[in-house]
């Protein structure tokens, strides 16, 4: 059984089988082809029966386009991007589109390189490229249909989340339970999302009340390093730029005998499940699965442009790392 490891079936085989021309077969097999219903049926039956599968390379060459999409992510080890990859891929599969993946290992130069080298091989890009400069990114994409995820770049379709509002929710929650000294541990310099969260923070907190610690290149280590400065500054609560930063903070503070949330409240960002295995973390959930699916839809079903941009809502999830401000 199955042993039919034979040479691949082509439209020529079908044509010969049916005594018609390859072009007719091609027409019968393609969407808008003009053929008699009878012929179409016969061709489809024969194709089915012979086990014909269209040769994408040949079709690509003829059409000048590939049936695939390039996904650029900075680091698959980061669960945030692993989830984006998962959902990009699953949505693309529904739309019969292959996903060609490139992990740039957080190197801005690599981001541009892989884009350039894939540009001709794919129909478009879903891009998570937090590091490279706007203009360099624009130049590298060079007109290729693209959707930028989790970052806003002029002239592109961008699927982002309302981080400013997420920050507002976090701070409102902390204030409601009595906190006044609320710090912010920021992310890597030059990242769009780091800037947005900071903007949200500055919108909510008076200049004289601000405690900003950062930038921090590494999430967990940045959190660890921030702990002492946080205490020195007299903060009773902190919003970090992502969940791993919050975990770093939590780990160091616990070592310093600081009780969470009795002595200090912590709000993370992203809402990753994996971050809560250690400790139920209050966090601002950032929709990433939904962003990925929308990105694919925009890329494959529209001519993606600035008009397709979407800002998705964020949502504070209160768990066990926030509580009333210490009374003192």
Partner DNA sequence: TTGTAAGCGTTATCAT
Partner DNA sequence: ATGATAACGCTTACAA
Residue pair 322/279 in contact (Cβ under 8 Å)? The answer is no
CA–CA gap between residue 146 and residue 298 (Å, rounded): 9
The residues, ordered by sequence, that sit 6+ positions from 142 with a Cβ below 8 Å of its Cβ are 116, 119
Binding footprint of its own copies, residue count (CB under 8 A)? 50
Is 220 among the residues that bind its own copies (CB under 8 A)?
A: yes
Residue pair 187/223 in contact (Cβ under 8 Å)? The answer is no
Angstrom distances, CA of residue 216 to CA of 48, 235, 328? 57, 18, 31
Shortest distance in whole angstroms from residue 318 CB to its own copies: 19
In what helix (H) or strand (E) does residue 167 lie, and over which residues does it extend?
A: helix 163-176
Judged by CB under 7 A, which stretch of 22-30, 134-142, 157-165, 166-174 contacts DNA? 22-30
β-strand 315-317 against 98-103: which pairing, if any?
unpaired
Beta-carbon count within 10 A of 259 CB = 11
Judged by CB under 8 A, which stretch of 86-94, 165-173, 196-204, 293-301 contacts its own copies? 86-94
120's contact among its own copies, DNA, none, with CB below 5 to 8 A by partner kind, is its own copies
Judged by CB under 7 A, which stretch of 7-15, 144-152, 189-197, 227-235 contacts DNA? 7-15
Is 23 among the residues that bind DNA (CB under 7 A)?
A: yes
The 10 Å CB-count burial string (b at 16+, else e) for 214-237 is bbbeebbebbbbbbeebeeeebbb
Residue pair 321/266 in contact (Cβ under 8 Å)? The answer is yes
Is 101 among the residues that bind its own copies (CB under 8 A)?
A: yes
Tell me which residues in 47-86 interact with DNA (CB under 7 A).
52, 54-55, 58-59, 61-64
Binding residue for its own copies, selected from 20, 76, 195, 258, defined by CB under 8 A: 76
Indicate the residue among 50 and 133 with the shorter CB distance to DNA. 50
Is 310 among the residues that bind its own copies (CB under 8 A)?
A: no
CA–CA gap between residue 120 and residue 137 (Å, rounded): 16
Binding residue for its own copies, selected from 53, 209, 228, 302, defined by CB under 8 A: 53
Is 264 among the residues that bind its own copies (CB under 8 A)?
A: no
Binding footprint of DNA, residue count (CB under 7 A)? 29
Shortest distance in whole angstroms from residue 164 CB to DNA: 44
Is 103 among the residues that bind its own copies (CB under 8 A)?
A: yes
35's contact among DNA, its own copies, none, with CB below 5 to 8 A by partner kind, is DNA
Indicate the residue among 120 and 199 with the shorter CB distance to DNA. 120
Beta-carbon count within 10 A of 60 CB = 15
Phi, psi of 48 (to 5 degrees): -55, -50
The 10 Å CB-count burial string (b at 16+, else e) for 16-38 is ebbebeeebbbbbbeeeeebeee
- Sequential DSSP letters for 99-148: EEEEE-TT-HHHHHHHHHHHTTTSSEEEE--SSS-HHHHHHHHTT--EEE
Is 154 among the residues that bind its own copies (CB under 8 A)?
A: no
β-strand 237-240 against 182-185: which pairing, if any?
parallel
Indicate the residue among 8 and 208 with the shorter CB distance to DNA. 8
Query: What is the end-to-end Cα distance of the chain in Å, rounded?
Result: 78
Binding residue for DNA, selected from 24, 97, 236, 283, defined by CB under 7 A: 24
Residues in touch with its own copies (CB under 8 A) = 1-2, 5, 8, 53, 55-58, 60-61, 66, 68, 75-77, 79, 82-83, 85-86, 89-90, 93, 98-103, 105, 114, 116-118, 120-121, 139, 142-143, 220, 244, 247-248, 251, 273-274, 277-279
Residues in touch with DNA (CB under 7 A) = 7-8, 10-12, 19-24, 26-27, 29-30, 34-36, 38-39, 52, 54-55, 58-59, 61-64
């Amino acid at each position: 059984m199955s042993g039919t490891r034979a040479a691949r079936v082509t439209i020529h085989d079908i044509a010969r089988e049916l005594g018609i021309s390859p072009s007719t077969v091609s027409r019968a097999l393609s969407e808008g082809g003009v053929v008699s219903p009878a012929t179409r049926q016969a061709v489809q039956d024969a194709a089915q029966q012979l086990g014909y599968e269209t040769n994408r390379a040949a079709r690509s060459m003829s059409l000048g386009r590939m049936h695939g999409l390039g996904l650029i992510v900075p680091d698959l080890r980061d669960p945030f991007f692993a989830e984006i990859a998962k959902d990009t891929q699953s949505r693309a599969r529904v739309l019969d589109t292959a996903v060609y993946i490139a992990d740039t290992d957080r190197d801005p130069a690599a981001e541009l390189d892989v884009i350039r080298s894939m540009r001709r091989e794919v129909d478009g890009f879903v891009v998570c490229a937090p590091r490279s400069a706007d203009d360099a990114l624009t130049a590298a994409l060079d007109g290729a249909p693209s959707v930028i995820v989790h970052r806003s770049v002029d002239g592109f379709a961008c699927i982002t989340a309302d981080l400013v509002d997420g920050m507002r929710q976090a701070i409102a929650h902390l204030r409601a339970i009595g906190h006044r000294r609320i710090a912010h541990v920021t992310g890597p310099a030059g990242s769009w999302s780091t800037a947005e969260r900071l903007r949200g923070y500055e919108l909510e907190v008076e200049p004289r009340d601000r405690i900003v610690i950062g930038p921090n290149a590494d999430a967990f280590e940045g959190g660890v390093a921030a702990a002492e400065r946080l205490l020195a500054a007299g903060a009773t609560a902190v919003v970090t730029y992502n969940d791993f930063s919050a975990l770093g903070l939590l780990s160091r503070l616990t070592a310093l005998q600081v009780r969470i949330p009795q002595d200090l409240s912590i709000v993370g960002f992203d809402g990753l499940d994996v971050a809560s295995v250690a400790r139920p973390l209050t966090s601002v959930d950032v929709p990433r699965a939904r962003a990925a699916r929308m990105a694919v839809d925009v890329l494959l079903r529209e001519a993606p442009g600035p008009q397709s941009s979407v800002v998705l809502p964020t949502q504070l999830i209160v768990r066990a790392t926030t509580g009333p401000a210490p009374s003192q």
